[in-house]
Amino acid sequence: MRTIAPFPATRLRRNRRSQALRGLVRETHLSVTDLIWPMFVMEGENAEHPVPSMPGVSRLTIDKVVAAARRAESLGIPAICLFPYVDPSLKTEACENAWDRGNLSNRATRAIREAGIEVAVMTDVALDPYNANGHDGIVKGGEIVNDETVEALAKMALAQAEAGADILGPSDMMDGRIGAIRAILEENGHANVSIMSYSAKYASAFYGPFRDAVGAAGALKGDKKTYQMDPGNADEALRLVERDLMEGADMVMVKPGMPYLDIARAVKDRFRVPTFAYQVSGEYAMLMAAAQNGWLAEEQVMMESLAGFKRAGLDGILTYFAPRAAEILNG
Ligand code: PBG
């Protein structure tokens, strides 16, 4: 009887021999139902303005957003996420337009609802598109004031729920906002509206193209380091997620995506709750820029990058690649 295995003891290449075998032993799979498609809304009719730093992405008027939502539905993408390009004349220091029932974002949500499209609508809860200072919070005496901002965010969240949003996405990083939003929703008959908290959102330079897309780059004075996370921290992300879950978040998010997949994995392993990551505008821009230069193979890096999110244990990904990835996944 032979007791010592022949060299090489384990031929791991056997399972990689063919596409069939690779498929058979693949541990994680990307599916269309993992995708959330972020889009930019602007005023007007039947128009779209390309975002220069995001090739293939445009700001859309509400009618075009409705058409895109219909496309998401037919592709099987479960959710879209709306970000408004707010006219500079509506940006104020008090950010009142943020909780206006008839603001651009709320009109877009209503239009999608009225069209009867079966796609979940996620909205952004943060003041930056409405803020003359470009910050996610109200600025007083040079400081981003937490508690006043939380009150504003709660009003904003309620207006979005009333417009018909299914998932609210607080992306502001103020303390206590999840609890305040959950409370105002409960008090006003919106107990079924979900909250996906941007729990671990880092102060990142990868948001640059997004700030161009929503017209916040020009307005922003200073940086967001007093409320968004320090890129050097990991333990703090776990504290934030735990806190947001205690306050009533249904799902949590890590943002940006690719440079923070270690955080995604740590969150998923620790809490075992629906966990998402946002492949942000700068991640999209760098892949697209290299692809446009012929330096990277666009489709392959797109699908490989998205596979990485699944392998890190995530339940879903917000990505500007959503419609193109869905087309490939649908064959
Ligand atoms: C703002 C917000 C940002 C993003 C989503 N919501 C930018 C920021 O915090 O400055 C970034 C998304 C992206 O870069 O794609 N509340």
Residues 150 and 158: their CA atoms lie apart, in Å, by 12
Show Cβ contacts of residue 329 under 8 Å, excluding neighbours closer than 6 positions: 30, 31, 32
pLDDT at res. 135 = 96
- Collapsing DSSP states into helix, strand and coil, what is residue 86? coil
Please state the atom number of ligand 1 nearest to the C-alpha of residue 284: 15
Among candidate residues 64, 91, 224, 255, the one labeled active-site is 255
Between the CA of 151 and the centroid of ligand 1 the distance, in Å, is 20
| 283 in contact with ligand 1, CB cutoff 6 A | no
Joined tokens for residue 155: 């009003």
Between the CA of 70 and the centroid of ligand 1 the distance, in Å, is 24
Residues 241 and 151: their CA atoms lie apart, in Å, by 21
Categorize the per-residue pLDDT at 2 as very low, low, confident or very high, splitting at 50, 70 and 90: low
Q: Which of 120, 86, 116, 101 is nearest to 162 (CA)?
A: 101
- Known catalytic residue at 255: yes
| 211 in contact with ligand 1, CB cutoff 6 A | yes
For the chain, list the domains and their CATH numbers: 34-70+81-252 (3.20.20.70)
| Residue bearing the CA closest to ligand 1, atom 5 | 171
pLDDT at res. 88 = 94
pTM for the whole structure: 0.96
Between the CA of 1 and the centroid of ligand 1 the distance, in Å, is 64
Please answer whether residues 241 and 199 qualify as being in contact, where contact means their C-beta atoms are separated by less than 8 angstroms: yes
Residues 214 and 59: their CA atoms lie apart, in Å, by 8
What tens digit of pLDDT does each residue of 158-180 get? 999 999 999 999 999 999 999 99
